Amino acid sequence: MFENRRRVLRSIGAFAATGIAGASGNAFATLSSPDAKGQKLAAKTNPQFVALDKPTAFKDITSYNNFYEFGTDKGDPAEHAGTLRPRPWKVSVEGAIKNPKVYDIDDLLKLAPLEERVYRLRCVEGWSMVIPWIGVSLSELIKRAEPTGNAKYVQFITLADPSQMPGLSTPILEWPYSEGLRMDEAMNPLTLLTVGLYGEVLPNQNGAPVRVIVPWKYGFKSAKSLVKIRFVEKQPPTSWNLYAPSEYGFYSNVNPGVDHPRWSQATERRIGEDGFFAPKRKTLMFNGYGDQVASLYQGMDLKKNF
Ligand code: MTE
């Protein structure tokens, strides 16, 4: 059904209602139940942001995850993230801005009409997926926050509650999980404040109730289960960079020309295509989003700023 809908949308090229969550035309979701798990989320497909690759199966997207707060195996988040409580949930928007605000998650959902966007996500480990996300451009939130001249970077801070996240007892990464973007990266229309996928609220293992998706960067930049969005003057510390600075740079742009010190980044395995004869795919510069983002890095040495 999802495939058919996409094909129709592509052929008419229209900004049409998705239909998955009912054709009410109401893009604002009201999630009254304390446990929003599996709840449908209405959104309109934004055809400007629809990758033409076949979307990865829902089952794969929700069972092959990285979310170290729930364990390091790919199956751990699906198995253990049932303890995460995505309602009630607050997100503090703070720092070098004129309008600091603590959003209730349900108000965050009403920031702007929700859009469905099909993005490729490429993990630094060498696998990728194609996911129909639901969210709004992070720029919608940033505009309302009114950053001051001191806001040069945005830091994303994740929940770190041991009562909900069993993986926190293992000190693999520095908790809370932290990531960051330069201000112009955060303002790029591609950067998605994400609240759902495949027509429903984000499953816990995918970062409920709200995460960021930065499709031209390795997956670890796309921090899950956000509780703070902080505007800062200096480049913020990030969990993976603290863990291994020579392996995980701040920029982490998908770049087949810069190998990870321990493996090549030239190709990737698309999850769901892993039969014996399935060829690996060539990894694309900026994960294929160069037209939209290459200008952000003009004049920068991307081997040094990896
Ligand atoms: N966010 C948090 N809070 N904790 C994590 O361990 N892992 C990152 C990123 N966001 C991670 C996180 C990594 S390494 C990847 S590849 C993506 O989430 C995976 O997102 P997915 O499981 O929805 O595919």
Residue 27 lies in a domain: no
pLDDT value at residue 36: 66
Residue 89 lies in a domain: yes
Tens-place pLDDT, residues 168-180 = 999 999 999 999 9
Residue 254 lies in a domain: yes
Residue 269 lies in a domain: yes
**Is 87 annotated as belonging to a binding site?**
no
Tens-place pLDDT, residues 222-232 = 999 999 999 99
Ligand 1 centroid to residue 161 C-alpha, Å: 17
In terms of residue numbers, what domain contains 208? 37-297
Indicate the number of domains in the chain: 1
The list of the chain residues with pLDDT below 50 reads 1, 4, 7-30, 32, 34
Cα separation, 104 vs 106, in Å, equals: 5
Residue 6 lies in a domain: no
pLDDT value at residue 22: 35
**Is 65 annotated as belonging to a binding site?**
yes
pLDDT value at residue 21: 36
Cα separation, 43 vs 29, in Å, equals: 9
Annotate 45-81 with b (16+ C-beta within 10 A) or e (fewer): bbbebbbeeebbebebbbbbbbbbbbbeeeebbbebb
Residue 26 lies in a domain: no
Burial class (CB in 10 A: 0-12, 13-18, 19+), 18: buried
pLDDT value at residue 18: 38
Residue 3 lies in a domain: no
Mutation choice for ligand 1 from 72, 172, 220, 227, CB with most ligand atoms inside 8 A? 220
Ligand 1 centroid to residue 217 C-alpha, Å: 12
**Token duo for residue 272:** 């769901």
Indicate which atom in ligand 1 lies nearest the CA of residue 205. Answer: 22
Ligand 1 centroid to residue 66 C-alpha, Å: 4
Beta bridge partners of 129: 121
CATH number, domain containing residue 50: 3.90.420.10
Residue 97 lies in a domain: yes
Cα separation, 80 vs 98, in Å, equals: 39
